[in-house]
Structures are given as structure tokens and as C-alpha cells.
Amino acid sequence: MANNIWDLFGINFEDLYEKFMNFQNALADKYNNLAQNFKKYDLDTEEGYENFIKDAAELRKELVKDDSVFNQKLVSILDKCVKSAMENHEAKKETKPLIKEIVDAEVNRNNEEKKKYVTPSCTCENNNESIDWPSSHLNYKQTKNVWKLVDEYIETKVKPYVDVDDEYLDKVGDGLFEFAAWLLNKED
């Protein structure tokens, strides 16, 4: 008799169960496909950021084609991720000029410091022997270790944020090297 009541309402449990299982399988397939095709992007680089935006736009087009609840939720999450990535990218663009300005000021200050040690009749390029450079008091191991640290600092803390040529970075590195040598030689 119970089957007759459900038949009266037009509900077929077998069809309902089959539709539910199909929906569950389709949802699992979409999730697995999304998880398997997930890429990692380095949003700190211009190339990584551009690839992320391009791939996100393509994924969004595919998700919008199907108007399911799952796809709508994925589009919403994707839109939030893209918005966050764009805001972070713009914030980093704004800090690059500030960092370049700080580096320029430090290089200029180092150049002024070097001029103090140079007699008016010569320049650093012509007469390095007349200057008592802090690095001249370092041994080989200290020199090697300081250059290693300066190179690491330039690669990780300066290069990613400043768009300058290698000659400029060499000058910054020279200044940092002399400063580090000065710190090592500094007596309290």
C-alpha cells in the first residue's frame, strides 16, 4: 500500500535514487578533474601572474557553461581568488618604485661616503690603493662568505622588486659588501 501512495504523488524511488547517484558521480568527477588539473602559480612574478589570470579566465568560461550549483560556487570562489591576486599584484606594483627609491638613496649615500675617502685629484677607479676599504681587512673565508650573503640578498630582496640593469645591481652589491665588511671590522 505504501508504494501506491508514492505512486499517487508520482514519485518513483528508484528513479530518484538513480538521479541522486548520477548527480553524486558527476559532482565527484568534476571535483577530481579540477583537483587533477590544479596548477601552481608563482604570483610574485609577472609571468606567473599572467598565466594565472589567463588560466582562470579559461576555467571560468568552462564553469559558466554549466549552470549547476557546484559550478556557480566554483565561479564564486574563482572570482574571489582572481580579485585577491589582482589586488596583491597592484599592491606590489605600487611598492616597487618605493623600493627603487630606497635603493637609489642607499647607493647615493654610499657614493658620498666613498667620496670622503678620495682626494680631490683622483677618483676611486683611478686610485684604489689610497682608500682603506673595510674589505681589505677581511680574510679569504670572510670575503667569500660575505659575497655569498650579498649575492643572496640581491637575488631575493632586491631583484624581485626593482627593475634595473645588472650594472646597477653590481654597484648595490659592492656597497653592501663594503658595509658588511665594515660591520665585521667594527670594534665597540
Question: What tens digit of pLDDT does each residue of 70-125 get?
Answer: 777 877 887 888 888 888 877 776 665 666 677 777 777 766 655 544 433 334 55
Between 166 and 91, name the one with better pLDDT.
Answer: 166
Both 12 and 65 in one domain: the answer is yes
pTM: 0.35
Both 83 and 19 in one domain: the answer is yes
- Residue at 101 is within a domain: no
Both 71 and 141 in one domain: the answer is no
The pLDDT, as a whole number, for residue 123 is 44
- Residue at 39 is within a domain: yes
pLDDT category of residue 8 using cuts at 50, 70 and 90: low
- The helices-and-strands tally (H runs, E runs) of the chain is 6, 0
What angle separates helix 46-65 from helix 69-116, to the nearest 10 degrees?
A: 170
Between 114 and 184, name the one with better pLDDT.
Answer: 184
Identify whether the C-beta of residue 181 lies closer than 8 Å to the C-beta of residue 134: yes
The pLDDT, as a whole number, for residue 121 is 37
- Residue at 111 is within a domain: no
The pLDDT, as a whole number, for residue 188 is 46
- Residue at 123 is within a domain: no
Q: Pick from 9-13, 25-29, 37-41, 178-182 the range whose average pLDDT is largest.
A: 178-182
Total domains, the chain: 2
Between 142 and 93, name the one with better pLDDT.
Answer: 142
How many CB atoms neighbour CB 151 within 10 A? 14
Cα–Cα distance for residue pair 185/177, rounded to 1 Å: 12
Both 84 and 139 in one domain: the answer is no
Both 79 and 150 in one domain: the answer is no
- Residue at 121 is within a domain: no
Full domain range(s) for residue 186? 130-188
